[in-house]
Amino acid sequence: MNVGAVKERAGPREFSPADDLPQEYREAATRMIEFHANSEIMGAYLERPFIRQAPSIDRKLAFSAKVQDEIGHGQLLYRAAESLGVKTREEMLDDLANGDGKFLNCFHYPLKSWVEVPMISFFVDGAAMRRQATLRRTSWEPYAHAMDKVCFEEGFHVKHGEDILKELMTGSQKEQQMTQEAFEEWWPRIIQFFGPTDDDSTHHDFASSVGLKQKSNDDLRNAFLDQYIPKAEKYGLEIPDEPRIRERDDGTYKVEEGDLDWDEFFTIAKNEYEPGVGQINGRKHAQEAVQWVRDTIETDTTAASGHAPQAAD
């Protein structure tokens, strides 16, 4: 199939590994799914310390289940990406470790205290879910199938995150104030989750013309704001003055994009933002520290079956 034929046929779940697809499609899909997979992993590493810091046993249990889910999402997505035949899972994980792998802007920032946790597990997970729900109709079938399972699980993350926010915002005066401060710090980053406006997005046109991407950055961002601004306000959070957000006549919202720090965003996009570099290296060290576990599994499997195992799924 050439690119023209792909564009013509492009529809939800249209292409599978059985199809003969042009390199351009395979590379675009790999870039998109690898980014998504890396983000699941880096998000999980960012949240992991808060399993220990969670304030109650219920929160610890739920939060550890959530972090475990995210690692699982990463695994599912590396499989979906690998099935395009462009990069192996090993190559993607190595690139993530050596700083070449790209991932979501929000996961480049440090997460310092429990009041910041709902900024990720309610707002960022909520934003991610908004996007992932549309990706159930992506044209790469293995990606769509991964999204079925991911979306099934995400409802718990978002509701649990909202429950943490609700608890903090009905807690002591100090907790409410600290949560508001965390919200002010995170709010612009959360809005940037959806990337720049469509005119400035480099990969949008091709990805949407071949059905990989189902909704534009602008549509997703606006849909998110419509749903989550009222939510934030309901729990007593005040929306910061900047970035300016205009309410349209129909009650929907629009962000003044010039108010956002795009220099920082693009520094992050190149993996050059200092806290993010630390997080990349932190994950790399964690990965190396448990190399012996993977080695043991591989050696045992080889000894037992008498031949080298296939990719260790």
Partner 1 sequence: MIWEVFRQEKTGGYHTHCGNVHAPDREMAQQYAAIQHGRRKPTNSIWVVPRDEIGEINDDEVAFGGTTDRSYRWATAYNTTGEDASEVVESEDEQADAEKRRGEA
Residues in CB range of 6: below 8 A, 6 or more apart: 15, 21, 22, 25, 210
DSSP E strands: which ranges in the chain? 245-247, 253-255
- Of the listed pieces 61-69, 91-99, 103-111, 302-310, which binds partner 1 according to CB under 8 A? 61-69
- Contacting partner 1 (CB under 8 A), which of 1, 10, 14, 301? 14
CA pair distance 7, 206, nearest whole angstrom: 9
163 binds partner 1 per the rule CB under 8 A:
yes
Q: State the nearest-atom distance from the C-beta of 162 to partner 1, in Å.
A: 4
Burial label, 6 (beta-carbon count in 10 A; 0-12, 13-18, 19+): buried
Judged by CB under 5 A, the chain residues 35 through 94 that form the site for Fe ion are 40, 70, 73
Q: Of Fe ion, partner 1, none, which one does residue 227 interact with (CB within 5 to 8 Å by kind)? A: partner 1
Output the smallest distance, CB 130 to partner 1, in A: 6
**Amino acid making up residue 151:** C
Please report, as residue ranges, which positions from 219 to 238 form the binding site for partner 1 (by CB under 8 A): 227-228, 230-231, 234
What is the DSSP code (8-state) at residue 246?
E
Does the footprint of partner 1 cover residue 126 (CB under 8 A)?
yes
Q: Quick one: which of 34, 82, 116, 125 contacts Fe ion (CB under 5 A)?
A: 125
Taking CB under 8 A as the rule, does residue 130 contact partner 1?
yes
Q: How far is CA 262 from CA 54, 198, 200, 233, 248, in A?
A: 33, 14, 11, 26, 24
DSSP string, 73-109: HHHHHHHHHHTTSSS-HHHHHHHHHHT-----GGGGS
Query: Given the complex with Fe ion, which of 125 and 162 has the nearer CB atom?
Result: 125
Query: What residue ranges bind partner 1 (CB under 8 A)?
Result: 12-14, 16, 18, 58, 61-62, 65, 126, 129-130, 132-133, 141, 144-145, 151-156, 158-160, 162-163, 166, 227-228, 230-231, 234
